[in-house]
């Protein structure tokens, strides 16, 4: 499904529609697809933060793969030779928001953070900052006790394993994770559920 269609149809999960609407430009959103994006697993794309942050199930022509097992490393996933993503099932979170610091030209994520309060607890997923999307357990534990922007401000991420390139240093990316996580918590806290659906299945 093209990103533009996700932005228009996945309205039960505003954090997801907002993420899709922030991808690239109009041409990219009309040509790029959810399946292609997650199968490719470029470290700077947005969807991995939604897949891991919302705890989705990826359905393929062979099996169902849980979010935490799907992205394995730089441009690598759990998909095997000839395995095709056929659907992605997004459970509706209690509240969620995605914040990204985009590259000013391509809009790829220099850093993007999805924060979600789900039926299985708080999840914080970061894209753009490392070789592959990752969760931040310390933030998740802290937000579990106190879902407030200030709760994550004091948590600093080590820069050692983060991306360092002409766009942003690893230290800057580490700083952005904290800032964007705080903003995502603030935005998620204002979220009001006006949609009845229990989730979104995108094919």
Ligand X SMILES: Cc1cc2nc3c(=O)[nH]c(=O)nc-3n(C[C@H](O)[C@H](O)[C@H](O)COP(=O)(O)OP(=O)(O)OC[C@H]3O[C@@H](n4cnc5c(N)ncnc54)[C@H](O)[C@@H]3O)c2cc1C
Site for ligand X in 84-123 (CB under 6 A): 84-85, 106-108
Site for ligand X in 136-195 (CB under 6 A): none
Applying CB under 6 A, among 14, 17, 18, 46 the residue interacting with ligand X is 46
**Which residues, in sequence order, are CB contacts of 65 under 8 Å at separation 6+?**
57, 58, 59, 78
How many angstroms separate the CA atoms of 187 and 31, rounded? 29
How many angstroms separate the CA atoms of 14 and 23, rounded? 15
Applying CB under 6 A, among 28, 87, 148, 159 the residue interacting with ligand X is 28
Q: Is 51 exposed, middle or buried (0-12, 13-18, 19+ CB in 10 A)?
A: buried
Applying CB under 6 A, among 37, 142, 163, 170 the residue interacting with ligand X is 37
Judged by CB under 6 A, which stretch of 5-13, 28-36, 68-76, 146-154 contacts ligand X? 28-36
Residues β-bridged to residue 98: 114
Q: List residues near ligand X by CB under 6 A.
A: 3, 23-24, 28, 31-33, 35-37, 39-40, 45-47, 79, 84-85, 106-108
């Amino acid at each position: 499904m093209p990103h533009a269609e996700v932005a228009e149809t996945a309205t039960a999960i505003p954090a997801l529609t907002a993420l899709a609407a922030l991808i690239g430009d109009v041409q990219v959103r009309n040509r790029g697809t959810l399946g292609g994006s997650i199968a490719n697993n470029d470290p700077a794309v947005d969807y991995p933060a939604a897949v891991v942050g919302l705890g989705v199930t990826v359905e393929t022509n062979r099996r169902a793969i849980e979010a935490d097992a799907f992205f394995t490393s730089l441009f690598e996933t759990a998909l095997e030779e000839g395995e095709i993503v056929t659907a992605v099932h997004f459970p509706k979170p209690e509240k969620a928001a995605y914040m990204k610091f985009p590259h000013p030209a391509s809009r790829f994520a220099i850093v993007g953070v999805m924060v979600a309060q789900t039926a299985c607890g708080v999840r914080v997923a970061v894209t753009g900052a490392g070789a592959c999307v990752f969760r931040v357990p310390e933030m998740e534990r802290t937000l579990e006790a106190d879902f407030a922007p200030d709760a994550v401000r004091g948590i600093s991420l080590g820069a050692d394993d983060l991306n360092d390139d002409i766009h942003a240093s690893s230290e800057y990316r580490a700083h952005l994770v904290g800032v964007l996580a705080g903003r995502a918590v603030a935005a998620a806290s204002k979220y009001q559920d006006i949609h009845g659906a229990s989730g979104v299945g995108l094919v």
